[in-house]
């Protein structure tokens, strides 16, 4: 639980900084992998996560996403399990 709380705190701070600086500098935020159903302390699926991140980043680099409003990429959100609403 402490690791999750730390992750949320760091993520929130990053989102604040992105929102503050993106209007004045050329700042690009690669969207984080989402959803991730692996615990942050589980390194057994690291290779899979690296492969997913590589694929997602290559796609992002070719899609030319807008550079303003990137802090929203870092906001907490929820994913429904398949078959639920």
pLDDT band at 81 (very low <50, low <70, confident <90, very high): low
Q: How far apart are CA 40 and CA 31, in angstroms?
A: 17
Average pLDDT value over all residues in the chain: 83
SS3 75: coil
Residue 65: predicted pLDDT: 65
Alpha-helical (H) ranges within 1-85 are 2-21, 46-63
Average pLDDT of 15-36? 88
Residue, of 52 and 78, whose pLDDT is higher: 52
Per cent of the chain over pLDDT 70 is 88
């Amino acid at each position: 639980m402490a690791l999750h709380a730390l992750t949320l705190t760091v993520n929130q701070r990053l989102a604040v900084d992105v929102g503050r600086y993106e209007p004045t500098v050329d700042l690009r935020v690669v969207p984080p992998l989402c959803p991730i159903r692996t615990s942050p302390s589980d390194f057994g699926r690291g290779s899979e996560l690296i492969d997913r991140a590589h694929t997602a980043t290559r796609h992002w680099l070719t899609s030319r996403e807008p550079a303003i409003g990137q802090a929203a990429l870092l906001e907490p959100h929820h994913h429904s399990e398949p078959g639920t609403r």
